[in-house]
Chain A
Amino acid sequence: MLATTIYEQGDHRWIMFGRDPDKAEGIIDTNQYLVISGEEAILLDPGGIELFAPMLSAVLKYVPADQIRYLFASHQDPDIISSLGLWDQALPNASLYSPWLWEGFIRHFGMERIRYCAIPDEGLNLTVGRIQLQFVPAHYLHSSGNFHVYDPKAKILMSGDVGAALEPGEPPLWVENMSQHSAHMKTFHQRWMPSNEAKDHWLRRVRQLDIDIMAPQHGRLFKQAHVDEFFNWFEQLSVGIALR
């Protein structure tokens, strides 16, 4: 499992995990994120059951298990959180923050010890160590109950499936050229994102945020210059139409 520190300031760090060379074929590649501040850490979209062991091992290179106090699942998809039943054995004292809408569904992945903290539709702020993370509503992008994570100090927006790309081979970590990259994002967004209205609503809100890095759950990450380009591209893209 490849691990890359994408932000570091004192004891405040963002680490991205992905591009697992041992990943079974046919499984979509995912990005997982660990945010550490002081003695506490949160794991964002911890991933599928197939990825659990390499993820746990990679994460323990940065923090001891008992410091991973929180898990976050942006929505209910298997590539996001089907590993929950195993994290439940590894981190019995952790809390999972996830949309209230999906509680009864996500519990099907197996959850006896971890506590479910339901995020209300309007979002929530969570203190992790010395920082505050914001769970930003992103409903219908693509899931009907969906959140992104914004870290105002690191200026990072973890954008879940928004900004995701399906790119063959082993692409580099960062977007280098938006017009080339958008080719790998187009079908994904048209097919998986169901609502132009939800898209516009989201754009209005995230354009107010100060963003240095936009970090999606699949594919390359966006640096500041490309974030605005992405917003403009996404704005003109009509979504929910791939079947027409």
Chain B
Amino acid sequence: MSTPIFVTAASIAAQLHQAQHHARGLALTAKNARALAVRAGSKTVGFRAITQFIDELASDIIRQSQYINQLSEQVSQHAVALWRGNMADGRFDWVMAENSEHRASLAHSQRQCRLRSDELSERLRRGLRLLEQELDESEKHIRTANLIATSSKVEAASAGEFRGQLEVIAENINATANQIRAHLQQARQLLSQRQI
């Protein structure tokens, strides 16, 4: 049995929720790194600049995840309504095939039900397209995260006696970026496997 779209959408929302959680951790790491860089003074000017990027990246990811989350919730709701409409339609078909004297009186309701389903399908299609676009957009964040992780390692290397501490932070950034990437990729994969 294929996974219903409302389950897929809810699973995507769950992935984005996780990504958001890690992004918050990233923002915290950025704050710690900045504090350290300020204390370390001139040797860590480069690192300090990077923390600014990390901070921005974290809030971008949080903002976008919230939006995608909201989108997937809408998609899930439309999908549930559509599923219910289709279930009613299926039952109406069954009734129509039975030999009930007044079955024709059901035709109007069935037509209405199908019209609503068509409209819901259209809204669902639009929602899914938007979701796809947003997730594509999130690719950009993954690339930025990779870049930041690499350059923080490079900057840490030239930070003299602060090298050790900054390397830990750089590793932390790298690990968190990997986790966010994994969740976003999982979300995209879920979306690509969907069935309507």
Contacts and interface: CB of A to CB of B under 8 A. Distances in A.
Interface of A: 52-53, 56-58, 60-67, 85-86, 89-92, 110
A128 B86 CA distance: 32
Interface string B96-110: 001011111110110
A92 B101 CA distance: 20
Contacts of A52: 91
Ranked nearest first, the 8 interchain pairs of A and B with the lowest CB-CB distance are: A64-B105, A89-B88, A60-B100, A64-B102, A53-B91, A65-B105, A57-B98, A60-B102
A92 B95 contact: no
A61 B100 CA distance: 5
A69 to B, nearest CB: 13
Given A64-B105, A65-B105, A65-B106, A90 B100 contact: no
A174 B136 CA distance: 67
Contact of B102 (A63, A86, A90, A110): A63
A53 B101 contact: no
Interface in B77-104: 84-85, 87-88, 91-92, 94-95, 98, 100-104
Contacts of A53: 91, 94-95
A86 B91 contact: yes
A110 B81 CA distance: 10
Nearest to B98: A57
Contact of A86 (B87, B101, B103, B112): B87
18 contacts: A53-B91, A53-B94, A56-B95, A56-B106, A57-B94, A57-B98, A60-B101, A60-B105, A61-B101, A65-B109, A85-B84, A86-B88, A89-B84, A89-B85, A89-B88, A89-B109, A90-B88, A90-B92
Counting chain B CB atoms within 10 Å of each CB, the highest count among A58, A61, A65, A92 belongs to A65
A207 B109 CA distance: 42
Interface in B101-127: 101-106, 108-109, 112-113
A90 B106 contact: yes
B109 to A, nearest CB: 5
Interface string B108-150: 1100110000000000000000000000000000000000000
Contacts of B108: 65-66
Contacts of A90: 88, 92, 106, 109
B97 to A, nearest CB: 9
Given A56-B95, A57-B94, A89-B109, A65 B102 contact: yes
A52 to B, nearest CB: 6
A92 B112 contact: yes
Nearest to B107: A65
A62 B84 CA distance: 26
A113 to B, nearest CB: 9
B93 to A, nearest CB: 9
A60 B103 CA distance: 6
A41 to B, nearest CB: 11
Contacts of A66: 105, 108
Contacts of A65: 102, 105-106, 108-109
Contact of B100 (A57, A85, A91): A57
B134 to A, nearest CB: 29
Contacts of B104: 64
B109 A91 contact: yes
A82 to B, nearest CB: 13
A66 B112 CA distance: 14
A168 B24 CA distance: 60
A64 B105 CA distance: 5
A62 B100 CA distance: 8
Contacts of B94: 53, 57
B87 A60 contact: no
Contact of A60 (B88, B106, B112, B113): B106
Contacts of A56: 91-92, 95, 106
Interface in B152-179: none
Nearest to B91: A53
Counting chain A CB atoms within 10 Å of each CB, the highest count among B85, B91, B106 belongs to B91
Given A56-B91, A90-B109, A110-B84, 5 more contacts: A53-B94, A89-B84, A89-B88, A89-B109, A91-B109
